């Protein structure tokens, strides 16, 4: 089965980091309600959802994806590129140790989990403002013994690699061609986002279903026409914090039954 680690929306969300979008007023209660609907959607797709308590002093802490990379064999705690986010790591680490042995990226390395796209035994890591060469090298050294390769990927004008490309199934990726070089992923079948929906490439795959923001109906239609089962959730307030759907959970396989 699947486990999804999440963290409740911080009351301080309005003080979030922003890089590529303008600051807009955030309704934290609405963000929280949207986040709860997102958690319910993950449950409906078969995830056991762990809801860690809100962190009042950590504005971006709802975006748990950035503080860890969870593989079948091991989990890696990251060192986020934004200093304001480094306090988020320890709490997620406590929960992860219940499921995996845990390794960690050390200073001066930085990695944001949003930059890490695992495709088979290769982890593609965005060479973004958040993930530095030292962090990418450390990740490679930590994971080589587990049989994973790590490859840096340039990104252009977006926050994270997974703003630009995510996986739809074992053979297919959803891609925003302005933000990453298609040729890097030429061995996959590539579906492009609708050009009117710049931020639409970020979807969560759970089994054979895809969870995506409701604000990208044209890209959603492309995916439906390509045969995918798509669940759309309204995450408009979280999008004002430069979040999307992958960033709000750490989804990974767990053995056993619900409990």
Q: Tell me how far, at minimum, the Cβ of 133 lies from ligand CIR, in Å.
A: 20
**Is there binding between residue 244 and ligand CIR (CB under 6 A)?**
yes
Binder to ligand CIR among 9, 47, 65, 150 (CB under 6 A)? 65
Q: Does 247 bind ligand CIR (CB under 6 A)?
A: yes
Nearer to ligand CIR, 89 or 244 (CB): 244
Site for ligand CIR in 145-174 (CB under 6 A): 160
Q: Provide the mask over 35-64, with x wherever binding to ligand CIR is found by CB under 6 A and - wherever it is not.
A: -------------------------x--x-
How far is Cα 169 from Cα 92, in angstroms, rounded to an integer? Answer: 27
- Nearest alpha carbon to residue 55 among 84, 24, 98, 21: 84
Q: Are 248 and 6 in contact (CB under 8 A)?
A: yes
Separation of alpha carbons 206 and 199, rounded Å: 20
Q: Give 54-79 as a 3 state SS string.
A: CCCCCCCCCCHHHHEEECCCCEEECC
Range in contact with ligand CIR (rule: CB under 6 A) among 12-20, 91-99, 178-186, 249-257: 12-20
Segment interacting with ligand CIR, rule: CB under 6 A, options 14-22, 48-56, 147-155, 229-237? 14-22
* Contact range with ligand CIR by CB under 6 A, out of 24-32, 94-102, 182-190, 244-252: 244-252
| Binding map of ligand CIR across residues 195-234, x = CB under 6 A, - = no contact | ----------------------------------------
Q: Rounded to whole angstroms, what are the CA distances from 57 to 19, 65, 104, 176?
A: 20, 18, 23, 34
Options 243, 249, 250, 251; binder of ligand CIR; rule CB under 6 A: 243
Query: Which of the residues are catalytic?
Result: 160, 247
Report CA torsion sign: 119, 230, 251, 92: positive
Looking at beta carbons, which residue is closest to ligand CIR? 114
**How far apart (Å, rounded) are the C-alpha atoms in residues 184 and 193?**
17
Residues that bind ligand CIR (CB under 6 A): 16-17, 19, 60, 63, 65-66, 82, 85, 114, 160, 241-244, 246-247
């Amino acid at each position: 089965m699947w486990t999804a680690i999440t963290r409740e929306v911080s009351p301080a969300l309005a003080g979030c980091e922003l890089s590529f979008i303008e600051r807009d007023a955030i309704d934290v209660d609405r963000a929280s309600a949207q986040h709860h609907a997102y958690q319910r959607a993950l449950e409906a797709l078969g995830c056991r959802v762990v809801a860690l308590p809100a962190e009042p002093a950590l504005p971006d802490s709802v975006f748990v994806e950035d503080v860890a990379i969870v593989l079948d064999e091991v989990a890696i705690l990251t060192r986020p590129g934004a200093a304001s986010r480094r306090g988020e790591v320890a709490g997620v680490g406590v929960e992860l140790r219940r499921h995996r042995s845990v390794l960690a990226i050390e200073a001066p390395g930085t990695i944001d989990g949003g930059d890490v796209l695992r495709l088979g035994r290769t982890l593609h890591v965005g060479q973004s403002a958040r993930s530095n060469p030292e962090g990418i090298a450390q990740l490679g050294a930590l994971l080589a013994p587990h049989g994973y390769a790590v490859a840096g990927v340039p990104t252009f004008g977006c926050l994270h690699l997974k703003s630009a490309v995510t996986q739809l199934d074992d053979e297919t990726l959803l891609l925003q061609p302005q933000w990453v070089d298609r040729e890097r992923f030429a061995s996959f079948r590539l579906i492009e986002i609708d050009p009117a929906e710049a931020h639409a490439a970020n979807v969560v795959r759970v089994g054979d279903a895809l969870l995506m923001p409701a604000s990208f109906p044209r890209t959603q239609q492309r995916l439906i026409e390509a045969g995918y089962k798509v669940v759309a959730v309204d995450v408009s307030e979280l999008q004002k914090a430069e979040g999307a759907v992958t960033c709000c959970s750490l989804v990974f396989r767990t053995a056993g039954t619900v409990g």
